[in-house]
Chains A and B, each alone.
Chain A
Amino acid sequence: MRPCMRNQQRNLRPLSGLLALVLLALSPTSVLAQTQQIPAHPRELKYTTLTYTPPKRDQYRHVLSNGVVAYFVEDHDLPLVNISTLVRTGSYLDPAGKEGLAALTGTQMRVGGTTSKSADEFDEAADFLAANITNFIGPTQGNANLNLLAKDVDQGLALYFDMLRNPRFQEDRIKLAKSQMLQNMERRNDRTDAIEGREWSRLMYGTDHFSTKETTKASIDGITREDMIAFHQRYYQPAGFIFAVSGDFNTKEMLAKLEAATKGWPVNKQAVPSVPKPVNTLVAGVYTVHKADVNQGRVSIGHAGALRDSPDSYALEIMNDILGGGGFTSRIMSRVRSDEGLAYSAGSSFGLGVYYPGNFRASFQSKNPTASQAIDIVMEEINRVRATKVTDEELETAKNSAIEVFPRIFATAAQVASTFAQDEYTKRPADYWTTYRDRIRAITADDVQRVAQKYLQPDKLVVLVVGNIDEIGKGNPDKPQYSLLKIAKDGQIRRIPLPDPLTMVYPSNP
């Protein structure tokens, strides 16, 4: 052995580095190593116990004098600071006919300058500071982020709050953004993955829910600068904020900085409307979208899921892990990919929604002749996890994995801050993380079967296939027992046409 230690100019962690040097000098490593036996199988390896206590929410939680909640997690290893603001808003608040307003407001706040700085001036100032500033509005949340070197934090905060408080919404930037949006809109029917995602949501949540409302040329054309100003004024005010700060800063000082930045900013207590739930009746069956030019079908199979705060969520997590969520140790991956070589990626997710039930979805991509066979296998596995108990080994693997991987949720200061801020935003029960591992430990094979029977409903499955349906329909001449038609229990293969990408009107006769 030729251990070679490099001396470093500056250690990231001087203490542990120094300690390591001392220890190395003392231990006769090579002698020790050679005398040890290597076990024949890893099951014979012995491990020390690892005790881990997750961080406590209250330890990091602070409330500003105006009532805004902020999480501060210090970490002085690297001279970086990250400041994140969650904003109570979302595209679910888009007025009918102005789809795209929330998203456009979010991006234009960032790129359209501020009342005191033109768009160019703002961008130049941010780039010269090497400050990464982002702002966007998603379906049920707005998020503004600032990441920069600690030495520049005051200048960075000034820019960041100028953006949050005084956006200019410069006309030429709005025009450019609309042109880019329209260009991308025209390409909506190009990619089979994009088509699959869009149609899956429509099948799951119906066409009246905000989550499936698409922008159109008319809705984008109709959005004005005044609309954006009004949208910003309504939602971007401290009562809607939660801060998450991590990195190289001092909590007391940062608290004062945030106080100063939000001082005099009117706190609007007007309640933000709640997120609407979908009203949709799923119609089970086989749905297809034809795309001639591809040699692989994309398939999604599933139905409605459950709520995140459901007491069954833990058992559902384990059940799905065994069925298709656990990668190579899960049943769907093992059969579709490793056994048969029918797909590169295959698996399932069980959606646990915060505001309304998510959806259960098994998916894979397979070449035209074998797509139907793979669907058959997935259906079989859905039936099997309901019909028979999972094995002890499977249960053990899934539970152990969830428990052992748990500390990674809080691996970095930024993760601690953002996890707690998100929990605050979505009103997650405060004891969730402290009780999580015990709740997982308590799950039995009976629990898994019970939730499988309760939440997986084979006769309600929706099957969506996007690809060359003519070819997929032909199946595999060597294996005529598998066919799309046989999968459709009502004998019907429904065709979903491609919509006009600018109006999103679906032709009635495909």
Chain B
Amino acid sequence: MKKTSLSLLALLLCVQFAAAQKVPVQEMVLDNGMRLLLVPRKGDPNVAAGWVARVGSVNERPGITGLSHLFEHMMFKGTHAVGTKNIDENLKLIKEMDTVRVELRQEEQTLIRKARLGEISDNKDPKYRSQRHKELLARFNELTKREKDLMVKDEFDRIYTTAGGSGMNAGTSTDFTVYFINVPANKLELWFWMESDRLRNPVFREFYSERDVVHEERRLRTDSTPTGKFNEQYESMFWQSSPYGWPVVGWPSDLEGITREEALDYFAVNYAPNNLTACLVGDVDPVRAKELAQQYFGRLPRGPRSPEPVRTSEMPQLAEKRMVAWAETVPQVRVRYHTVAEGHADDFTLDILASLLSGRTGRLYKSLVLQQSVANSAGAGQDGRKYEGLFELNGVAKPGKTPEEVEQALYKEIERMQKELVDANELQKVKNQYAANNFRGIQSNFGLMVQLLLRDNNRGWETINTDPARHQAVTPEDIRRVANTHFKPENRTIAIYYTKKKADGAVDDPALAGLTDQEKIQIGQMKGMLSQAKAEQIKMMLSRFEQQASSAPADKQNFFKVVKKMLEDRLKQLEGGNQ
């Protein structure tokens, strides 16, 4: 994202539509393959305007991960006409800079190799740079300064801002890259001018300093938040072969290595008009808009070849995967299953199933939070993407409970879905919410514009009018069927978060004092198992356990003591009829 967070887009994506009202979209396809969607609406004198490139991190490959996102940043750096005092000089300079970069890359690769072999400790430490390396850097800095002198700084932003454009931003996801702005109704032609100009003749100025900006973005979102880096690892662990496994922001090593040449190749194929859809919603005259589209976007040449769909699909998961992390956060669990892509018949059923589980009248809250008091919050959601999909359940453990206990309680609710048919009234409640959310989701011009673009990016904008009926058609039998199809133990990947120990060595549960981290994990897992076990089973465990304890080494005695007490407490609880 250029300015705002990805969560806005996530939110927009989640908004659902119902059947009651059709959105009247006028569609136009130019000869070069570019699509234009129009929804004239009365109201304030503004137009929500945007376009989507059907490319995201899923279309990348190792070595250029993060390029889609870096590219999004580069699209604001101006063109042949915007952002420079002298384009010929500017282009000459860029060529020179790239030549220096080729040599610099060789120097960098030498250092990376040395670090790999352990000959130097850090390939980025300036003290290991050769004389030639230093000269090249000095030369490059000088060229950068000259480029700056030629620039008309942030002219692209200034033109829009002066004209009353607002909310300009862009966003990159796994499946799409979207660019948007609000313009006053009388500035429609400016929008066509600016957007077609940057699609025709972009100049990637400040390419290398922008890589640093993206690095700061990565530090902000991923490295410097308590769970950011763990969530990234969890995502990568979940996907085995699918390109959804690498982060949208890219791996740091790739970010540092991407060249302008690679960015240009990428642009030629993925930003060709035949891979784009534009959309205008608001105070717009459709006749004029179509004229302008023809005039401005019509001049973009069709791409050299059509972008190909992603080839690599996810391998079926054969065994449960589990990640255990210690982080500065509440103790919690995430459970994910591989499911289906966006638009698959089961995708709609899984949406409904997730809604049955979530919210204050959802099953997870009622059962885990209110009745069992094992969690302080819990939720579920289906995330259907363009090529694959996943279903996630999560919960935060109540103080004194472990993430594993929450995990087991989540499985109980899944089991209910697999065995029993949901109540008609309960299902109707969820469907009512989908029906109302249909209208809520199309209230704002901006929201509707982004929704149409993202839908057109996947299965076509028409789904805004056809999907609602598919949600309403879901039956209790469908729900039971998909729960049995997808929620299998070998198909799940779990992330457990324990609260990281405080710096002063204090631990949260005094009963666990003196245990190693490994032992604490084992205790946590046992607690999860115990919440499922019957009194008879616990008695058997206890007797077996006492035998083992007598022969355990001295440093394990503490651990055994804690486990024994836990078993006894649980047994007392069961026999006392507390549960």
Contacts and interface: CB of A to CB of B under 8 A. Distances in A.
Contact of B164 (A342, A401, A412): A401
Given A13-B42, A45-B193, A412-B443, A20 B187 contact: no
B549 interface: no
Interface string A296-316: 100000000000000000000
B443 A78 contact: yes
Contact of B76 (A11, A127, A328, A404): A328
B31 A2 contact: yes
A182 B440 CA distance: 34
B219 A24 contact: no
B162 interface: yes
Contact of A192 (B185, B224, B361, B439): B224
Given A127-B361, A183-B330, A408 B44 contact: yes
A190 B153 CA distance: 38
Interface string B55-80: 00000000000000000000010000
A123 B432 contact: no
Interface string A180-218: 101110110111100000000000000000000000000
A435 interface: no
B48 to A, nearest CB: 10
B225 interface: yes
A475 to B, nearest CB: 14
Given A33-B291, A327-B161, A365-B220, A180 B209 contact: no
B231 interface: no
Interface string B359-382: 111000000011000001100000
Contact of A40 (B22, B81, B295, B439): B81
Given A41-B81, A341-B210, A341-B216, A410 B162 contact: no
A79 B21 CA distance: 10
Nearest to A401: B161
B26 A6 contact: yes
Contacts of B436: 80, 130, 148-149
B162 A397 contact: yes
Given A78-B443, A400-B164, A47 B295 contact: no
Interface stretch (A96-104, A331-339, A442-450): A331-339
A47 B226 CA distance: 50
A48 B190 contact: no
Contacts of A345: 3, 220
Given A40-B81, A328-B154, A179 B398 contact: yes
Interface in A355-371: 365-367
Interface in B184-212: 184-187, 189-190, 193-194, 206, 209-212
Interface in B257-300: 285-287, 290-292, 294-296, 298-299
Given A20-B287, A149-B439, A50 B126 contact: no
B399 interface: yes
A275 to B, nearest CB: 31
Interface in B422-460: 425, 428-429, 432-433, 435-437, 439-440, 442-445
B219 A190 contact: no
Given A1-B294, A6-B26, A404 B184 contact: yes
B370 A123 contact: no
Given A17-B40, A29-B294, A296-B219, A327 B157 contact: yes
Interface residues of A, number: 101
Contacts of A36: 295
Contacts of A176: 369-370, 376
Contacts of B533: none
A341 B182 CA distance: 27
Contact of B26 (A5, A192, A366, A393): A5
A342 B224 contact: no
Contacts of B210: 341
B158 interface: yes
A67 B443 CA distance: 32
Given A328-B154, A329-B161, A365-B219, A341 B209 contact: yes
A3 interface: yes
B399 A182 contact: yes
Contact of B217 (A4, A78, A344, A397): A344
B443 A80 contact: yes
Interface in A450-504: 467, 477-478
A38 B297 CA distance: 11
Contacts of A405: 164, 166
Nearest to A35: B295
A230 interface: no
Contacts of A397: 158, 161-162
Interface string A80-92: 1000000000000
Interface string A37-49: 0111111010111
A9 B82 contact: no
B328 interface: yes
A24 B286 contact: yes
Given A329-B154, A404-B184, A408-B182, A10 B44 contact: no
29 contacts: A1-B31, A1-B298, A4-B28, A4-B29, A8-B25, A10-B24, A17-B24, A27-B287, A33-B295, A38-B193, A39-B193, A41-B82, A45-B190, A80-B443, A147-B440, A180-B376, A183-B399, A294-B224, A296-B216, A327-B168, A328-B154, A341-B213, A343-B213, A365-B220, A397-B161, A400-B162, A400-B164, A401-B162, A412-B44
Interface of A: 1-6, 8-13, 16-17, 20, 23-24, 27, 29-30, 32-34, 36, 38-43, 45, 47-50, 52, 77-80, 111, 120, 123-124, 127-130, 147-149, 172, 176, 179-180, 182-184, 186-187, 189-192, 293-296, 326-329, 334, 337-345, 365-367, 393, 396-397, 400-401, 403-405, 407-408, 410-412, 467, 477-478
Interface of B: 3, 20-31, 39-46, 76, 81-82, 126, 148, 153-154, 157-159, 161-164, 166, 168, 182, 184-187, 189-190, 193-194, 206, 209-217, 219-220, 223-226, 285-287, 290-292, 294-296, 298-299, 328-330, 359-361, 369-370, 376-377, 396, 398-399, 425, 428-429, 432-433, 435-437, 439-440, 442-445
The 5 A-B residue pairs with the shortest CB-CB distance, nearest first, are: A404-B164, A341-B212, A130-B436, A341-B209, A328-B157
